[in-house]
Amino acid sequence: MGEYIIRRIIQALVTLFLVTVFTFALIHLAPGGPTQVMIAPGISPEAFEVQKRNLGLDDPIHIQYFRWIGNLLQGDLGTTFKNNIPISEILWPTVGNTFVLMAIAWIVTLIIALPWGIYNSTRVYGLSDQTAAFISYLGFAMPTFWFGIILQQIFAMNLRWLPLSDMWTYGKEGNISDLVMHLILPVTVLSLGFLASYVKYARASMLEVLDQDYIRTARAKGVKERRVVFRHALRNALIPIVTILGLDLPMLVSGAVLTEKVFNWPGMGRLFVDMAVAREYSALMAIVIVTSVFVILGNMLADILYAVVDPRVQLGRKGGGSK
């Protein structure tokens, strides 16, 4: 197990490195480059050069890169061009907010989707199954942000049951019930977005497992059907589902961009969009790197989780005993 984890960590670091190079390259490929945004236009060419040197923009590209990486590793994410605010100050609080939103949405999704999918696998093409299929078609075709806007109109504006946007009501920060009220609409929108997929995964996984020989053996042993489904089948069906959960883990940080914008939720997604519109390249780079770290971490965790759950994964060793 230890060997496997080390290998995965190395893989992750390599990928992360490639991501930083890629991001850095991308920013510096911009027409005009960072000089365009960082230096006020219309100044004299000499002043331009002075500014450039001060900002370190005339150093060879790899020096700039390493300087940037060095700063990142020390936690210095740079500052915004406008007003020189340290990016870490504005970034880290938003991470927590996004996490809260996504975690709750995810949990809600799983609580509904997994049992529903498993149930559908036992009554294939029944009413419940067809309903799920119908919802999944809608879910794939409907723009989620539009759904959010419509919900806003109905529940916040017309019916006035729920708050329109933001995470807290002004003056009520820290109040849990206020938070819950603000969570309901965005969580609904997010949840519905994943729901259809997870129902499908659960159903498909169960169906595949129920078709296996060892299920036939279990029935031939006289095991009651209920136990066959919930113990023999489910344990196996969960393995691919756990894998998918793991792969989706990174969405905890990056999946809510649109919803955050619709509901003005103070999360990383909204921050990213605002920074993009304002062309704050340093901030954008920082957010991309932070997000990628989470993505890569998430993937790694998923792989390790998979190895734990499935006894067949020999983690590098070849399987098989003696004859």
Q: How far apart are CA 280 and CA 36, in angstroms?
A: 11
Smaller CB separation from other proteins, 45 or 319: 319
Smaller CB separation from other proteins, 176 or 220: 220
The count of other CB atoms within 10 Å of the CB of residue 117 is 26
- Residues in contact with other proteins, shown as a per-residue x/- string from 25 to 44 under the rule CB under 8 A: -xx-xxx-------------
Q: Determine if 162 is a binding residue for other proteins (CB under 8 A).
A: no
Count the site residues for other proteins by CB under 8 A: 74
If we measure between CA atoms, which residue out of 234, 238, 248, 242 comes closest to residue 304? 242
Q: Determine if 235 is a binding residue for other proteins (CB under 8 A).
A: yes
Q: Determine if 221 is a binding residue for other proteins (CB under 8 A).
A: yes
Q: How far apart are CA 71 and CA 56, in angstroms?
A: 13
3-state helix, strand, coil in the chain (%, to 5): 75, 0, 25
Give how far Cα 32 sits from Cα of 37, 42, 60, 81, Å. 9, 14, 16, 16
Residue 217: both structure tokens together: 């053996």
Smaller CB separation from other proteins, 1 or 150: 150
Smaller CB separation from other proteins, 47 or 154: 154
Provide, rounded to whole angstroms, the least separation between the CB of residue 109 and other proteins. Answer: 18
Smaller CB separation from other proteins, 125 or 170: 125
Residue 35: both structure tokens together: 């000089």
CA 12, 16, 19, 25 torsion-angle sign: negative
Strand, coil or helix: 306: helix
Footprint (CB under 8 A) of other proteins, residues 266-295: 272-273, 276-277, 279, 281, 284, 287-288, 291-292, 295
Smaller CB separation from other proteins, 129 or 167: 129
Footprint (CB under 8 A) of other proteins, residues 99-158: 124-125, 137-138, 140-143, 145-147, 149-150, 152-153, 157-158
If we measure between CA atoms, which residue out of 282, 270, 267 comes closest to residue 95? 267
Q: How far apart are CA 74 and CA 16, in angstroms?
A: 16
Smaller CB separation from other proteins, 112 or 251: 251
Pick the binder of other proteins from 87, 189, 218, 286 (CB under 8 A). Answer: 218
Q: How far apart are CA 219 and CA 186, in angstroms?
A: 45
- Residues in contact with other proteins, shown as a per-residue x/- string from 177 to 216 under the rule CB under 8 A: -----------------------------------xxx-x
- Residues in contact with other proteins, shown as a per-residue x/- string from 251 to 270 under the rule CB under 8 A: x--xx-xx--xx--------
